[in-house]
Amino acid sequence: MTALPPCYPANSRLDEHGDLIVGGCSVTELCREFGTPVYIVDEQGARERARDYRAAFESRHPDSEVIFASKAFPCTAIYRLFAEEGLSCDVATRGELFLALAGGVDPARIHVHGNAKDDADVAAAVEAGVGCVVIDSFDDIDRLERLVPDRQRVLLRVNPEVQADTHESVLTGHSTSKFGLRRALALRAIERLRASDRLELIGLHTHVGSQILEVEPLTMAVDALADLGDFPVYDLGGGLGIPYRSTDTAPSLDAYADALVSAVHRGLGTDVRVLVEPGRSLIGTSGVTAYHVVSVKRDVVVHVAVNGGMGDNLEVSLYGTEFEARVLARRDATERCQVVGKHCESGDVLVRDAELPSPVIGDVLVTPATGAYCYTLANNYNAQPRPPVVSCREGDARLVVRRETYDDLLRRDVPAAAVPTA
């Protein structure tokens, strides 16, 4: 067996034939059984990562809580997995709340986010008995005070006005962000919440963005909370980045925990509860996506077309995320290839300038680090059914989300006979 770089699942190896083994299962065999494209999850690796997260923070600050940022992979099997590992979860929509409850998450351990909660969102959260609602605006306060029958614990999201180095679409803590309240408004909201007889303000929340590859912006956000008053709870959000390619580097979990906890102890005190919300860094590298090569066009460039693309991985065209690819075959000759999808869009490129072992039709091609946001952003562009999710552990492969069918594409259509004629 050959060890793989950190962008691949923790429990993955290459065998002597060049096949990728994930969670004890052959990816080539999984493709035969479940078809392609297919999302494959290293279940044990995800569990180990959850345990590592808890250990990293609890060892440095015993009163810590790790919260799964579920928008990274909103699937009932993943909700259940992290709940079994002792994690709480956050949800940003009624749909995520519905899935979390269906996945067996204790409502008391659910944190509700969102910058545009409507009455139905708030009512659903209250009815479910969620543990905490994160206030993002004065409108949130109005709705909660009107709809909460008794008392509701809340956090106030503060905009720290910190600029991090990441894609602008996943940047959330800068001064013009749609999320949270800047200092002057935050102070007004704190005063109002402390006077409320329906809402119990337990602390502050902050978040600067996603795929952050330096710890400094994360600690700066902690520092921004220091002069807003004393609170028993501080939610520091998430944002830790991951390696998407073999050549990528990212801060270690220990370095991340060291930086955050040190910043808390320095500016907020030692007798507080610390919450963190990992998503991408919790599940991202535990997933891979497998495809079959369906066409190879050798001309000015070599286009290797697979039977998926931006329908199952929108991260490339939406955020400019750079992935790598691996063909599961041993060949001496290699060539530089553009790995493209099957969608009618020139931007449907999965991997640029990949050095691959002379791909041929029928090859299995894998992209690592697809455990976060690829399933989340899966879509039906060109009326393509969305892929299944297969969870692998100790040689056992389990289908946890079935492949979408063509009948599913029709399921929401209103039959012609039901449409009134003019």
Structure tokens at 251: 């801060």
CA atoms in the 13 A half-sphere facing the CB of 150 = 4
Residue of 75, 344, 374, 392 marked active site: 344
Distance from C-alpha of 332 to C-alpha of 129, rounded to nearest angstrom: 60
Instruction: Report whether 306 contacts 343 (CB < 8 A).
Output: no
Is 89 an annotated catalytic residue?
no
φ and ψ at residue 127, rounded to 5 degrees: -65, -35
Residue with tokens 């990992």: 278
With CA atoms as reference, report the closest residue to 287 among 25, 35, 13, 46. Answer: 46
Instruction: Report whether 79 contacts 71 (CB < 8 A).
Output: no
Distance from C-alpha of 346 to C-alpha of 349, rounded to nearest angstrom: 7
Structure tokens at 275: 């919450």
What amino acid occupies position 123? Answer: A
What amino acid occupies position 4? Answer: L
Q: What is the number of other CB atoms lying within 10 angstroms of the CB of residue 15? A: 13
Residues acting as catalytic residues: 344
